[in-house]
Amino acid sequence: MAEIKLSVVIPVYNEKNTILEILRRVREFGVRKEIIVIDDFSADGTREILQGLLPAEDLKVVYQPRNMGKGAALRSGFELVTGDVVVIQDADLEYDPAEYSTLIQPILDGKADVVYGSRFLGGPHRVLLFWHSVGNRFLTTLSNMLTDLNLTDMETCYKAFRADLLKELRLRENRFGFEPEFTAKIARARCRVYEVPISYSGRDYSEGKKISWKDGIAALYFILKYRFYN
């Protein structure tokens, strides 16, 4: 793999049971990297776990002053990026950092500016939440109609991109509106977009899944909004 520096940006909210394990798994991926964790005002002990970590050269931790949402957390993390390629990583173990090499390879090959890791391209996944997958596919289809992309999984967490794109994309949304906003803006910027298959170990709501039908309704609004507004 080409010599690069990878910036892994991890928004965290109430993930005390998984935060240490996700940090361990990210560190196992064998390239030079920085890990940027943004705690979105967790109230379950996650913040205290992060505060108890020993200082490390590869780790930066940001503590949001209040719960502001995933998009706001990501923007706070993006401000600290010093790497060549950025990967967005959720803290809940649904996505496997061992697959970073697949995710970033099209960028390293000079073929892509942005890569989406799709849960719907045949990778192994936990069988779970039929209506959630239907809603995801509907939102992806609507987004595709308005951006003229042909993604299979617009809402995926796993998005990798050249770090210098952060200078071009003015991101605004605070919550889960980040996904349709980012997608619309990379389409408008005519970025070269690839998709690769990834595995997915989804959670149900009893296990801590946070996104709900209300976020799906909000996503509809943001898909339409960013068709006409930059």
Q: Residue range 176-199: average pLDDT?
A: 95
Percent of the chain clearing pLDDT 90 (strictly above): 77
What pLDDT is attached to residue 124? 63
pLDDT tens-digit series, residues 196-218: 999 998 745 444 455 665 766 87
What pLDDT is attached to residue 6? 98
What pLDDT is attached to residue 2? 62
Q: Are 5 and 34 in contact (CB under 8 A)?
A: yes
CATH number of the domain that 179 lies in?
Answer: 3.90.550.10
Q: What's the domain range around 44?
A: 5-228
CA atoms of 22 and 10, how far apart (whole Å): 9
- Above 60 in pLDDT, residue 180? yes
Q: Residue range 180-189: average pLDDT?
A: 96
Number of structural domains the chain divides into = 1
**Neighbour count for residue 151 (Cβ, 10 Å):** 19
pLDDT tens-digit series, residues 76-105: 999 999 999 999 999 999 999 999 999 999
User: Which residues, in sequence order, are CB contacts of 69 under 8 Å at separation 6+?
Assistant: 40, 173, 174, 175, 176
- Above 90 in pLDDT, residue 221? no
- Round the CA-based radius of gyration of the chain to a whole number and report it: 17
Tell me how long the chain is.
Answer: 230
What pLDDT is attached to residue 205? 47
pLDDT tens-digit series, residues 129-159: 665 678 788 999 999 999 999 999 999 999 9
What pLDDT is attached to residue 3? 84
- Please state whether the predicted TM-score (pTM) of the whole model is above 0.85: yes
Find, among 78, 170, 155, the residue nearest to 118 by Cα: 155
